[in-house]
Amino acid sequence: MAVTRHSDAVAPVRSAGPVTIWLTRHASTATGSFGRLVHQPFASLMIILVIAVTLALPAAMNLVIKNFAAISGSWDDALDFSVFLDTGLTVSEAEGVARLIGQRADVANVQLITADNALEEFKQQSGFGDALDHLSQNPLPHTLVVRPSPANTAQSMILLREELASLPETDIVQVDTEWVQRFHAILEIVQRAIMIGAGLLGLAIIVVIGNTIRLEIQNRRDEIEVTKLIGASNAFVRRPFLWSGFWFGLFGSLLALGLVQYGLYLLQPTVSRLAGLYQSGLTVLTLDLRDSLTIIGIGVALGLVGSWFAAARHMRAIEPR
């Protein structure tokens, strides 16, 4: 007897794997938590706004430090030595001194500014060109601009200055590096203060989110008791509250990025006008992709930590009667 094969036979249904089930449950819980935030728009917006302002403050201050550090990076000329030679030296003798200094291992390069070039530049920049034309002789000396090698330490810079000053052709050695070092020291202090302040503000975010989750747990106490009564674990009951903390942190950090970018947008015309007055190409550094992802990651992490602490603490106190 021939065996007939039915084309409409139903194939056996395979059960979903554990990973698929886990992802499905989390997606459902995340959607439900997001829906509860939407159903309470005013309360949710207030919490998100507090988180955004708290994250935006240290982010904006850190961005200010980055801009000042970028500006100070163009002050390398302030680390140069200005070696004023004796006025009796000729141009060829000044060139010989420049070559001699340029052969040193602790010197990157040497630039010679002759007395005639210096006087001409002074005429153009000072506006006293007509008056300076009546001088009987050039009072300016030949000048060597000596740039130290980047490998120099603070002690070797002092030694280099002393050796340049001891040259017989040298009249005065001028260098002003202390103010640059002070400026960088101040930036470092401010940056550390911002880090400490950011840590305190992070604790404030954890407290705000924890208190919000605590109130939500109290409002859903009966629901939690019934869920535990039918055998749900603390981890299962805690899951929607963790997702609430995730959404608070995510939206708060995104709003913080928006606040910082809007502040930069308001500052841009003022900075452009200032750069135009000084004929400079000064531009404001903005948050790059790495900084933005860092702020979002910190916001989400703080939201999860705050919700987890609140849920873990208050969940154990709720048991079915």
The residues spanned by each domain of the chain are 26-74+181-315, 81-174
Please report the pLDDT score of residue 253 as a whole number: 95
Task: Output DSSP code: residue 316.
Answer: T
Please report the pLDDT score of residue 218 as a whole number: 86
The two beta strands, 143-148 and 81-85, are antiparallel
Fold of the CATH domain 81-174: Alpha-Beta Plaits (3.30.70)
> Mean pLDDT, 10 residues at a time, over the chain (321 residues)?
43 60 83 89 92 92 80 60 86 89 88 82 64 65 85 78 88 74 80 90 92 88 82 82 94 95 86 65 77 94 92 75 63
Contacts of 82 (CB under 8 A, 6+ apart): 143, 144, 145, 146, 173, 174, 175
- What string of DSSP letters covers 238-276? HHHHHHHHHHHHHHHHHHHHHHHHHHHHHHHHHHHHHHH
Residue of 147, 119, 112, 114 whose CA lies nearest to 133: 119
Report helix, strand or coil for 183: helix
Could you report the per-residue pLDDT of 275-305, keeping only the tens digit for each?
666 555 566 778 888 989 999 999 999 999 9
Q: Is the pTM of the predicted complex or chain greater than 0.85?
A: no
